[in-house]
Structure 1
Amino acid sequence: MSSTPSAAKVRGLRLMALAGLLIAAFAWFGAPSSARAAASCTASVSSVNLGSTLSPLTAGTVDATANLNFSCTGLGSFLSYSLCPNLDAGSGGSNGSGLRYMAGPGGATMGFQIYQDAGRTQSWGSSSLLAFGAVPTITASPGAGTSINVNQTVYLRLTTTTTTVPGAYSTSFTGQNFFWGLNLLSCAGVTVGYAVVPATFTFSATLIPDCTISTGNINFGNAGVLAADKDAQSAMSVTCTKDTPYAIGLDNGQQGTSATARRMKAGAQYVTYGIYKDEPRSSPWGSSGGQTVGGTGTGGAQPQTLYGRVPAQTTPAPGTYGDQVVATVTY
């Protein structure tokens, strides 16, 4: 006897199979809906100030951490839930190739990045902005309970250069979509799920104006009778943060009374000398009035020259004469 089912029976088997598939599909997609209806979830990221007295001349890279918290109640027991916390460019913008910025004074920007790992090798991504990399997948289970509470470290790094303009910098994140659901497995490219939006959070830093200065000695060499002017000079270098006005002043030394009446000492005797701003030695370099040397910082070293002169004078006893002058940068 033939075991081949009739046409009516075949149609019946197909309908039963289709009904089985519909029931399975409803069970798969219906589970998150049931969980979502009963669940109450919140997310937050802490705001962080990475520093309020950072110098662009010395800061380089500055690291800090923030905390991401994700909590839910009313979940199904023994299920695994995944969170996909997307972070976009923030209000500071980006360079279009994955580097975020903090925005500062006058449209200035400073390189900034968010990472998933303490080594700061894997950037924190966004499913809608692939240049930032992958979105981390955070998975948790309530076990026998109905709630989860997850704390995740967010690793931050800003990068300054010597040409970064001093001022207040920040970037804010508003309306970030943190998707969550059942068994998402991986957040790479995921744009489905149930969204929870954290309150606005901000990462910020303040860079301060700064200057450094270095100079060499003015060595007048050997001299016999001081019957004529004896000149010498030395190089000075000043480095100030970009767009920072500065003025360099020189005090009168240890025994001097003015910019042109400084005195080198040996024992109880002196040799008078002066320091000038110009090669003809017509503009004294002192510490007040119009005797300082000014400029505006570029973030790089700016050279200056100290022009020294020992004028003709009564020659004191032979010896090694010296003085110490303090240079001060005001900015």
Structure 2
Amino acid sequence: MLARIARRRARRGRLHRSGNADMPMSLRHAAVGGASFGGERKRAICLTVLLLTLMGVFWPGKAMAQSCWSPGSLSLSFGTVTGAGVTASSSGPLATCQSGAFTTYFRMCFYLGAGNQSSGSISPRRMIHHPTSTRMDYYLYSDAARTQLLGPVGGGYPTYTLDAVASGSNTQVTTPLTVYGRVPSGQTLAAGHYQEENQEGTVYYRYGTSGYPTSCTTGGSGGGTFTTSSSGINANYVDTCAISTATDLDFGSVTSLASARDQVSTITLRCPTGTAWKLGLDNGAHASGSTRRMTDGSGRYIHYELYRDGARSQRWGNTPGTDSSDGTGSGTSQTATVYGRVPAQAVSAAGSYADTVTVTLTF
């Protein structure tokens, strides 16, 4: 009799609560009969788990908030560096931004502090050669032309601004925070590996769903800040000879060449102390045999010559030890002067005349 009453109560409980989401009440009714109705209890528990699972799949959830973060770190290698300097660029660190339910527009500003060897300076920054404590100067920029220094927040340096757009439905988009590096020429350094670490970056961002915010700190509907890490900046310095600059030899504008016209240019190089070097010049791209010529590009030419001395008596050629300009390295920048002359000659047509000469450094 008690068992029948318990079953009737259990059935009433299930019928009474049919369609009601308050499943724990059904479980309490089903438990009145005690252990003899374990089967009923098991079915009720399974039903509860199934409903919760279905609710997790189909019930509309709250949209995830828009946000940005950095999944990578800054790493830049200059590779092999000589006294002539070098440039390099990095595709990291990265910035990942996530939209909400709708397409989201992000505007970010990237700032980068000094590393652990720069003593707070970013102009220049410095890498260290640990065996000798020698430091190599370098610079980081936000543009490929290397005119916009990348600096810390509040340092008064140009703002590195980037935009990104992520479509709706919690979509993520990743943008590289590309950094452009330069090691300047003319440094006298110990050969070996140089490095600097701990360049921590800071990114401010704002976002909106109707277009890009006014800036990375104002406008839009929200924003935030995140930081980036660094796995290091490094370079391998090789103490060897290198040409750093060769200036143009510009003879200017004239109305005639009834008399000779002279001009000079310079070539700057660096070689380790005691290293013998020889600097050669070829005959140019438009020479006729050994006669150097400038052209207007239309088959007309003006003859000219290059010399090693101010008296313009020693022709400058490309045979080491014969007609080259020779010297010995000092470990610092050295300059060789090119003495040019356009001799008096008839010119068939007015125009702009030019030539390209290749400089060869032998050591």
Which TM-score band (shorter chain)?
0.3 to 0.5
Report the TM-score, using the length of structure 2 for normalisation: 0.43
Answer with 1 or 2: which has the greater Rg: 2
| TM-score, with structure 1 as normaliser | 0.46
